[in-house]
Structure 1
Amino acid sequence: MDTRKNIDGLAGGLMVGLCMIWGMQQVVLKAAAEDVAPVLMLALRSGIAALLVALLMLWRRDGLGVRAGNWRPGLVVGFLFALEFMLVGEGLRHTSASHMVIFLYTAPIFAALGLQWRLPAERLKPLQWLGIGIAFMGIVVSFAGRSGGVEAADAGRQLYGDFLGLLGAMAWGATTVVVRSSRLSNAPVTQTLFYQLLGGFVLLIMVCALTDQLRFKPTPIAVGGLIFQALLVSFASFLAWFWLLRNYLASRLGVLSFMTPMFGILFGVVLLGEPLETNFILGALLVLCGILLVSGYEWLSQWLKRRAR
């Protein structure tokens, strides 16, 4: 029997904090891109965080679950984690942090689609299907209406980067499905996270070596960004995320996750001076509404019932 709960105050509060951290990470990657390639930053943060998680596992005496067969789904989530951030790192070379955060955080939509296929407890309701339709409409609107003429080449690059962000969201959604529908669903949080971080570090470093992206200039923004990415993003926030996945229904998680893209856009505009196109703003609003309908279904249905009384 699945004992995972709907969203409560604790989960909501944690999600707000996570949204702020996750909304900042693309901005930090973009800001430090001149000193360290985004893919290398992602590889290094995964390696540092993997070491921290390994130390935590030793202290807590958490095993790797080899005898239980956890290493098999562990390999899969490690690969998907690396794939997601390889796509993000490459995408940030071509598009803005504001665009990346919107497309990457469509992941709950893809996770909900996969989970409703794999797990009976995660079946989607009609209102959630409507939310998925609205979100995909927003994606289409965001991709449409790019500038032409002299700026056609730049528009094409941005379109390519946005598409990579969308593929990264699919990889993230697939990771959630694998975690929830495999032995890792009941494994220690640190074990799942370690598989992801180690897989990410190994595979991303290989990508950096093959694509000649090993340059690291130790400027304050590069070093500070790496500390932020490793300690807050890859270690603390991911531990909190997987704890939430183990204790709450995944398709309901992120009742407030629509705030992540909002924080990302805000930070990108304020800190990096990124411009916003009209079609992108409209598309982003549709995507956020769609995510809210999917992730916040329980709250919305309860609110509608109270209004009907």
Structure 2
Amino acid sequence: MKKADGKPRQNLSVVFGATLTMLLWAMCFPLISISQTYAPIMLTATLRAIIAGGFLIFFAGLLRRPIPNTTRSYAYLSAIAFFATSVGFWGMFYAGRLISPGLATVLTNTQPLIAGLLGWCILNERVGKQSLVAYAVGFLGIVVISGDSIYSSDPQSLSGITYVVIGATSIAISNVLLKKIASHVDVLYAMGLQLLLGALPLLLLVLLQAPMTIQCCDIKYLWLIVLMAVPGTALPFAIWFWLMEKAPLYQLNVYSFLTPIFGLYFGYMFFSESLSFAQWLGVILVIFAIPLASISPGQKTT
């Protein structure tokens, strides 16, 4: 490999971008937990998607970015909206009410394994033995981090486990679809449109629910929604789409294992949760897994 072709700088941008994305996504977990005292969780999910999508489309128009103009692009964006936002948000938000955070974290972070397998089967991305070891080590780290929550909790609801597995699988499918159109559609319009389209089924679900007590006009709730929508959703979605052009999907998905680590940190910050020895061990395993996958030999980039 050439040293003067900008590769090291590109790799550094991928590391920074992927890490920032996981940090911003992890920031949403304590915000979602706090928001439950103000409004039903599906209403929060819907408002988060609508505000984030509207912000991205407004910004894209301001910058005069090219609007998607092919039937193929809108077909892909509709499918991504269904899997990433409609089903993904539905599964993750509902699961958070039915099962323990530890078990939800473990199941959610099977998404990189599912996406890596789909990328191998559909995108023909070659995953070497070293990357497979990295996935195994990263997932082991997640299990170790969440072990106390899993084994000390009450018997878990089968429906809650089903919700989170469906959500994780849907996000994995959307990542494969994103990879296929990443170089053909403007990042801001792509993410904005998929969030708005994906919010429609969520809004229908909210309207079909029984009358609810809502404190939407509370300024604290409005701030929570804005934080979840803009830095917590719009920005990381845009960065993630941009990263799809820069690195193989299996390599990017390993960074998803960082989300529960950041979640533990925010748990300490917001809820005074402390890390046990086992959790620190899990953190070390996850940190070890990321460079192990990133330097995997035999990969091809275009």
Q: Same fold, TM exceeding 0.5?
A: yes
1:103 and 2:100 matched:
no
SS in 1 for 2:245: helix
> Cα–Cα, structure 1 residues 139 and 213, in superposed 2: closer, same or farther, change >3 Å?
farther
SS in 2 for 1:253: helix
Kindly provide the amino acid, as one letter, of the partner of residue 231 in structure 1: V
Partner of residue 243, structure 1: 242
- Aligned 8 A contact 1:32 1:222 in 2: yes
Partner of residue 173, structure 1: 172
> Cα–Cα, structure 1 residues 163 and 247, in superposed 2: closer, same or farther, change >3 Å?
same
Deviation (angstroms), 1:132:
4.0
> Cα–Cα, structure 1 residues 96 and 29, in superposed 2: closer, same or farther, change >3 Å?
farther
1:41 and 2:37 matched:
no
Distance 2:161 2:226 in 1: 26
Encode CA deviations 1:187-210: one digit per residue, 9 max, x unaligned.
111232023211221111111122
Query: TM-score, normalising length from structure 2?
Result: 0.79
Distance 1:46 1:105 in 2: 21
Kindly provide the amino acid, as one letter, of the partner of residue 22 in structure 1: W
- Aligned 8 A contact 1:53 1:235 in 2: yes
Deviation (angstroms), 1:14:
2.3
> Cα–Cα, structure 1 residues 261 and 137, in superposed 2: closer, same or farther, change >3 Å?
closer
- Aligned 8 A contact 1:36 1:216 in 2: yes
- Aligned 8 A contact 1:98 1:265 in 2: no
- Aligned 8 A contact 2:142 2:286 in 1: no
Partner of residue 214, structure 2: 216
Partner of residue 21, structure 1: 24
Distance 2:100 2:220 in 1: 18
SS in 2 for 1:246: coil
Gaps of 5+ in 2: 1-6
Deviation (angstroms), 1:40:
1.3
- Please point out which of 197, 200, 208 is paired with 1:199: 197
Deviation (angstroms), 1:213:
7.5
Distance 2:235 2:266 in 1: 21
Deviation (angstroms), 1:63:
4.6
Distance 2:174 2:19 in 1: 21
Encode CA deviations 1:213-266: one digit per residue, 9 max, x unaligned.
764314344222101011112222211111111222222125654322101122
Kindly provide the amino acid, as one letter, of the partner of residue 253 in structure 1: L
Partner of residue 87, structure 2: 83
Distance 2:114 2:56 in 1: 27
- Aligned 8 A contact 1:131 1:291 in 2: no
Kindly provide the amino acid, as one letter, of the partner of residue 295 in structure 2: W
Deviation (angstroms), 1:103:
3.3
1:297 and 2:293 matched:
yes
Query: TM-score, normalising length from structure 1?
Result: 0.78
- Aligned 8 A contact 2:142 2:257 in 1: no
Distance 2:291 2:165 in 1: 18
Q: Percent identity?
A: 21
Partner of residue 3, structure 2: none
Partner of residue 305, structure 1: none
Partner of residue 265, structure 2: 266
Superposition RMSD in Å: 3.6
Deviation (angstroms), 1:109:
1.9
Equivalent runs, 1:74-153 vs 2, <5 Å: 74-81=77-84, 82-97=86-101, 99-120=103-124, 122-133=125-136, 146-147=151-152, 152=154
> Cα–Cα, structure 1 residues 140 and 252, in superposed 2: closer, same or farther, change >3 Å?
closer
Deviates more, 1:206-215 or 1:107-116: 206-215
SS in 1 for 2:235: helix
Distance 1:213 1:241 in 2: 37
- Aligned 8 A contact 2:30 2:267 in 1: yes
Partner of residue 4, structure 2: none
> Cα–Cα, structure 1 residues 185 and 206, in superposed 2: closer, same or farther, change >3 Å?
farther
Partner of residue 71, structure 1: 74
Encode CA deviations 1:264-284: one digit per residue, 9 max, x unaligned.
1222244235698999x59x9
SS in 2 for 1:84: helix
Partner of residue 282, structure 2: 285
SS in 1 for 2:37: coil
Distance 1:163 1:274 in 2: 27
Gaps of 5+ in 1: 303-309
Deviation (angstroms), 1:162:
4.8
Deviation (angstroms), 1:97:
4.6
